Structure 1
Amino acid sequence: MSGLCGWIGHNGASNQELVEAMAAPLARFDGAPVRRVQGRKSAAAVAARDGSAHLYQSDGLLVALWGRPRLRDARLAEQAAREGLARTLADAWRGAPQELCASLDGTFALCIVDEAKGSALLAVDRMGEVPLAWRLAGETLVFGSSNDAIHRHPATPARLDPQGIYNYVYFHMVPSPGTVYRDVRRLLPGEYLLYKNGEVQTGSYWRMRYEEHNARPFPELKEQFLAALRTGVREAAGDSAVGAFLSGGTDSSTVAGILTEVSGRPAKTYSIGFEAQGYDEMEFARIASRHFGTEHHEYYVTPDDVVAAIPQVASAFDQPFGNASALPAYYCARLARADGIERMLGGDGGDELFGGNERYSKQHIFARYERVPGLLRKGLLEPAVFNFPGGRHIKLVRKARSYIEQASVPMPARLETYNLLDRYGAAAVFTDEFLADVDPGRPLVSLADTYGRSEAGSLINRMLELDMKITLADNDLPKVVKACELAGVEVAFPFLNDAIVAFSAGLTPRQKLNGTQLRWFFKEALRGFLPDEIITKQKHGFGLPFGVWLQQHKPLQQLASDSLTDLKARGIVRPAFVDELVGQHLREHAGYHGTMVWVLMMLEQWFKQR
């Protein structure tokens, strides 16, 4: 991968050798050149291709920036064109750090180290497209885009955090700001960190600001939206040999169509299929390709591909990661790389900006129950439903009970009603020794904390803002970014262009979720541009039929069995649970329980790659 790393507050025997050793893991997939700056008690390095590394050094002031951001201020942009972006940021550092960060658009990770003042600034972009983790050890602040870089510094050796492992099994990833390592934290999207003489404080330089009551005419909104889409795709494509993921959904199809339009030639599109009933969406990708006239490429992932790629995918992540879609994303990116593509465009972000996930409509239905007067709910409805004679055997009564039970759970805990770990029970899954160092309630507390920070007035926008962090920044973006890094290509996300993000914030809640109609404005604005079949299709994506194949493919069964057997010896998961999982549970429902097999298998595979 590419990235940024460094420290302040440590004077080693050879700062040059140390910072180069820290940067080595950042360049291991693409062989990107490493550029560095160093002071007496500090150093920073960026591993990146040309155009994505910006460094400056003068009198103990170090600036290192990874990414391709743009400056909002015209005066600063002109200065950057003359003197370089890093030099311009060095000059701006003397002002307010928050304003400096807010002046940047686009994707970036930034560090500014000022040895004379004993201070430093770290920051990441607004949507958290790239990671930046940090650890304070005494008066030494060590930071890096990868945990692997941080742990190469002598002040910050790796120490696993049981809570991070528990959070991984709960969420199938480790949500920020936590990591799987003790005392190592990640910056949240739109967050900065200030270091001063051995102390740190963090804050937000940007938050999503929704304008929920500013209804405007549809034609005006549609014109502005299409213009923002063209800008987002054009800027994401840049001047590289570019292609696009194409799943056949609304987001990837939109990106493919706009890319064809703005480039003036057929976009190169890439899709993944599966020979498994209910999982293959290739026909929708073909519909989109024919509609826009793209130069389309397909690859069908096989169970043998899964076996071959699992160790590679596990090694690409600096902490456990259990989203199985990373594997088909890797094969799709590899297909594009073999075709000469240098940068892929992903459709990620559309759901979280415009209201595209099924749970939004479900929660809208549950929220209706909250509007029923409490006296009526508690005094009449609930006693009638739960005390109905023989209600367990009457389908309508059972549904009413389930509805009331779920609707009575407060948000955002209601989103985790079907959480797999909760269904099994933590005590049934983990050993007593492991749980002694864990707070099982922490995942829901952190979820509630993120949800509670939203300033949105509507349920849909509060859910969207939560998903921008949990689903997008912590899960989907790392999935695609790491898959592309492993395949040797860059990736960009047009929907996360600042103009499109700002536009989405100005839509009314009803324009995102009209009753139970998902993405109402998005689909209406693109009606006639997208094929009707794409607009009306059910959401799917690059889902991997792991549970189905696990029942049929011997090498995959062996890999899973070996991984879970080795995991038993680590004292984390109860051996009896593993035996029950791969035995009775899988026989009962391979698709459902196969998810936990995958999550635990990838945990063990990650351990093996450390």
Structure 2
Amino acid sequence: MSERIQKMISRKELHFGDFTVFGFTRDPNFINQRLSVQFEITPQIIDIGSFGQFFFYTSYGDVAESEEALVLKLGFLRSKTKSALNARQLLEQKLVSPHSIDSDGFSGNGLVVALSKTEPVFSAFQTLLGMPQLHYSILDDGIICSDIFRCIVSLIPHRELNDKILPQHFLFQNVYGPSTYIRNITRLLPGYYLKWFNGRIETNLRRSLDVVADNLKYIHDDKKALNLLNDSFEQIVGDYITQIESRGQGLVNQLSGGVDSTLLQSFINPKLYHRPNRSISYVIQVPSFEYEVDYARQASQLLKTDHTFVNYTSQDYPGLLTRVIDLLAQPPNHETTPSLLAIAEFIRSENWSERYFFTGHGSDTLFGFSDASKLKALEMIQKIPFADTWLKGLGLILSPAKRLSQSLLKGSEIIASRNNPDAFVARSNNLLTYDVDWGLVQRSFGDSIIRETLANRRNFPLQYSKSDHYLDKVNFIELLTFTYDLSVKNQQLALTHRMEQVFPFFDEDLIKLALTIHPDIRYIKGFKYKHLMRRLLERRTNAPVAHKSKGVSTVNEEFVIWMRTGPLRPLIDDIQRPGFMSKLDFDHMIQTPNYFLLSLLTFDLFNKRVIIGNSE
């Protein structure tokens, strides 16, 4: 790596921030040689006689102990009666034990772990779409677990790239399922229970997205749905704020000005009474982002928040991107992730006292995103005889109108392939991939591997839902893969700065309620997507912002320019060609950058800085 590049991406001091690490070992030197030296901590030791030792450390978790067990709670949990649950209550009410966890006894968004003090056994459970994670690695002498992926990466003896996930990375920019970017590191899937007993692991799914038994039990009435959603948001946001304040902490809302974050702010305000009401958002200093800035400013004025804009320029981006990869020990799955790091670094540099940051992320895949209109149109059109033929003909006739023509031709292809789920253009494969160069990935990995990877992603949500609704099928893929992974990585970044993000849209009680609303009105009404959230915001604010189109939170066109001739160009020129890519394809990508090049750039940086360790 050249001196110029090293100077450009010179990083701030890296730190682990808040984390939890625990496990079991039969090696008496493990704790001193790895844990104490690597993290400069003194973990709690639980001696299990001749079997070995449990070790445990958390810098922020809620912990309770008895003579037989140690219980850890991360996140926000509540009982069946909707009262907050802490670790002591989970233990005393016998909801958790090292041998079993009564996952039906609580809900929310969190992770629970129970370690035995008398035998080599522990249990763990992660709520559906829970943000606190459990990563683990099986070693010859035991097991290492942590909520932070980078902690596990730092502790395992050898780092090896898990090359099986490469097609996922280049197709979807994320890795879903239990596999991770590094071999022999596994993660517990959301909604799953895990039990480890003396070297043996068993897991089983405890949560489902199928909460309605038959079509007649769905909510079909808009007014009823809106009333129930309003009550649910009131209860969940109120519970989160109560739990946050009981911990002596404050909160901030990440207010972009969109429907989701503005709606959250409308529920936060009444709970804070006369206390400081702060909000924050990032600003990428390019002309196309001004619309987003104006939108956040209008929302802040409407809801009377003390708003802070965190500004950064294109020159800041290379350093932010490389620090993200260093802190996550894996590639980000979206170009906006460095923006969250910019916020975190600003907050810590300014010594803000608030720890918790609310976000509206996740709403799109629960309540409808822009592609819902296209999906509904295709669902209606394909019922017309020979729809693919006349749609193609219309697209050819309108070829002078390039954008409209391309949309019609693509629609024709999608309809023609409706009985072939393996087709690249099929809606579950194509609509939720991000500017993929299909020809390049085919040549790099081969048709059979690409089709297998697409099929695996389509089938992944089937363990959570058997819904055959055309909108559920696509949205559940997005929800359980890209959207969830993006949220998890943002939370991991926040924890490195001793902050926590709060995701009300991923709370189990809200998810369960949302899924009782029929998909035909939950995602879209007429051709208005996310109409329930818009109408709920209008009801609460009586402001036109509820139905105003929002600017994008990305700068894709500028991003390509940064790679072509801007501040990312030195990193692009420094990319090493991976073995699976031909020299011809590689040279073409480097010489003519497009958005897909981001996948190669993040993989190259990850490989150098994490796998090879070329980051010192």
Category of TM-score, reference length = shorter chain? 0.7 to 0.9
Name the residue aligned to 2:39.
Answer: 24
Secondary structure in structure 1 of the residue aligned to 2:279: strand
Tell me the number of residue pairs that the alignment of Structure 1 and Structure 2 aligns: 569
Indicate yes or no: 2:187 matched with 1:186: yes
Higher relative contact order (CA 8 A, sep 6+): 2
Deviation at 1:67, TM superposition (A): 0.9
Aligned 1:115-514 pairs, distance under 5 A: 119-137=121-139, 140-151=142-153, 157-211=158-212, 213=216, 214-215=218-219, 218-237=222-241, 238-239=244-245, 240-265=249-274, 267-280=277-290, 281-337=292-348, 338=350, 339-355=352-368, 357-372=369-384, 376-377=385-386, 382=388, 400-407=408-415, 408-409=417-418, 414-417=427-430, 419=433, 420-426=435-441, 428=443, 430=444, 435=445, 439-453=449-463, 454-475=465-486, 477-512=487-522, 513-514=524-525
Q: Is the 8 A contact 1:114 1:120 kept in 2?
A: yes
Question: Using the alignment, how far apart are the partners of 1:385 and 1:310 within structure 2?
Answer: 42
CA deviation vs aligned residue, 1:588-607 (integer Å, no higher than 9, x gap):
xx5x3554464445434643
Name the residue aligned to 1:6.
Answer: 22
CA deviation vs aligned residue, 1:88-143 (integer Å, no higher than 9, x gap):
37674378x35x23323233333334476654323222213122123445684443
**CA RMSD across the alignment:** 3.6
Q: Is the 8 A contact 1:176 1:474 kept in 2?
A: no
Are the structure 2 counterparts of residues 194 and 128 from structure 1 closer, same or farther at C-alpha, using a change threshold of 3 Å? Answer: same
Secondary structure in structure 2 of the residue aligned to 1:63: strand
Question: Using the alignment, how far apart are the partners of 2:142 and 2:583 within structure 1?
Answer: 41
Are the structure 2 counterparts of residues 173 and 258 from structure 1 closer, same or farther at C-alpha, using a change threshold of 3 Å? Answer: same
Residue of structure 1 aligned with 2:62, choices 39, 53, 58: 53
Question: Using the alignment, how far apart are the partners of 1:484 and 1:91 within structure 2?
Answer: 29
Indicate yes or no: 2:48 matched with 1:39: yes
Over the matched positions of the two proteins, sequence identity in percent amounts to: 14
Deviation at 1:207, TM superposition (A): 1.2
Secondary structure in structure 2 of the residue aligned to 1:107: strand
Q: Is the 8 A contact 1:245 1:269 kept in 2?
A: yes
Q: Is the 8 A contact 1:311 1:609 kept in 2?
A: no
Are the structure 2 counterparts of residues 439 and 116 from structure 1 closer, same or farther at C-alpha, using a change threshold of 3 Å? Answer: farther
Deviation at 1:204, TM superposition (A): 1.2
Secondary structure in structure 2 of the residue aligned to 1:319: coil
Are the structure 2 counterparts of residues 250 and 106 from structure 1 closer, same or farther at C-alpha, using a change threshold of 3 Å? Answer: same
Deviation at 1:394, TM superposition (A): 7.8
Are the structure 2 counterparts of residues 542 and 63 from structure 1 closer, same or farther at C-alpha, using a change threshold of 3 Å? Answer: farther
Provide structure 2 residue ranges, at least 5 long, that are not aligned to the other structure.
1-16
**One-letter amino acid of the counterpart of residue 227, structure 1:** D
Provide structure 1 residue ranges, at least 5 long, that are not aligned to the other structure.
28-32
CA deviation vs aligned residue, 1:200-238 (integer Å, no higher than 9, x gap):
332111112343543365444433322322332233332
Are the structure 2 counterparts of residues 331 and 358 from structure 1 closer, same or farther at C-alpha, using a change threshold of 3 Å? Answer: same
Aligned 1:76-87 pairs, distance under 5 A: 84-85=88-89, 87=91
Secondary structure in structure 2 of the residue aligned to 1:273: strand
Deviation at 1:580, TM superposition (A): 1.5
Deviation at 1:65, TM superposition (A): 1.8
Name the residue aligned to 2:108.
Answer: 106
Q: Is the 8 A contact 2:43 2:55 kept in 1?
A: no
**One-letter amino acid of the counterpart of residue 191, structure 1:** Y
Question: Using the alignment, how far apart are the partners of 2:270 and 2:547 within structure 1?
Answer: 19
**One-letter amino acid of the counterpart of residue 321, structure 2:** I
Moved more, 536-545 or 335-344: 536-545
Question: Using the alignment, how far apart are the partners of 1:505 and 1:91 within structure 2?
Answer: 26
Moved more, 263-272 or 193-202: 193-202
Deviation at 1:442, TM superposition (A): 3.9
Q: Is the 8 A contact 1:66 1:109 kept in 2?
A: yes
Are the structure 2 counterparts of residues 548 and 36 from structure 1 closer, same or farther at C-alpha, using a change threshold of 3 Å? Answer: farther
Question: Using the alignment, how far apart are the partners of 1:91 and 1:401 within structure 2?
Answer: 56
Deviation at 1:371, TM superposition (A): 3.8
**One-letter amino acid of the counterpart of residue 123, structure 2:** L
Q: Is the 8 A contact 2:95 2:103 kept in 1?
A: no
Secondary structure in structure 1 of the residue aligned to 2:264: helix
Deviation at 1:457, TM superposition (A): 4.4
Name the residue aligned to 1:67.
Answer: 74
Q: Is the 8 A contact 1:120 1:194 kept in 2?
A: yes
Question: Using the alignment, how far apart are the partners of 1:308 and 1:177 within structure 2?
Answer: 30
TM-score under structure 1 normalisation?
Answer: 0.82
Indicate yes or no: 2:589 matched with 1:581: yes
Indicate yes or no: 2:606 matched with 1:603: yes
Q: Is the 8 A contact 2:388 2:413 kept in 1?
A: no
Secondary structure in structure 1 of the residue aligned to 2:65: strand
Q: Is the 8 A contact 2:161 2:183 kept in 1?
A: yes
**One-letter amino acid of the counterpart of residue 457, structure 2:** L
CA deviation vs aligned residue, 1:229-265 (integer Å, no higher than 9, x gap):
2332233332222111111111111122322222014
Deviation at 1:84, TM superposition (A): 1.7
Name the residue aligned to 1:30.
Answer: none
Deviation at 1:391, TM superposition (A): 6.8
Question: Using the alignment, how far apart are the partners of 1:267 and 1:389 within structure 2?
Answer: 51
Deviation at 1:423, TM superposition (A): 2.2
